[in-house]
Amino acid sequence: MKLKMRKCRSCGEYTLHDECPHCKGDVGVIYPPKYSPEDKYGKYRRILKKQMLEKENSTRF
């Protein structure tokens, strides 16, 4: 059995259980997805990153 750290989507607590022990909320795995050379969404992430950097630079001045 492989244990994976999980984080509650409701209260933000970390746990190894399938359900949050604090609020009984839904939990999700916190690790990023594996790298794939066939990255279907890489184009959109790069566009978003560029827009965020442009927005940040325009608000500095």
Please give the Cα distance from 15 to 36 (Å, whole number): 28
As a whole number, mean pLDDT of residues 34-42 equals 82
Read off the amino acid at residue 25. Answer: G
Which residues is 26 bridged to in the sheet?
19
Length of the chain: 61
Q: Which two tokens stand for residue 54?
A: 């442009």
As a whole number, mean pLDDT of residues 19-31 equals 90
Q: Where are the beta strands (DSSP E) in 1-61?
A: 6-8, 14-15, 27-29
Provide CB contacts within 8 A for 6, sequence distance 6+. Answer: 14, 15, 16, 17, 18, 27, 28, 29, 30
Kindly indicate the confidence band of residue 23, based on its pLDDT and cuts at 50, 70 and 90.
very high
As a whole number, mean pLDDT of residues 2-13 equals 86
pLDDT in tens, 46-61: 999 999 888 888 876 6
All domains in the chain, ordered by first residue: 6-60 (2.20.28)
Kindly indicate the confidence band of residue 1, based on its pLDDT and cuts at 50, 70 and 90.
very low
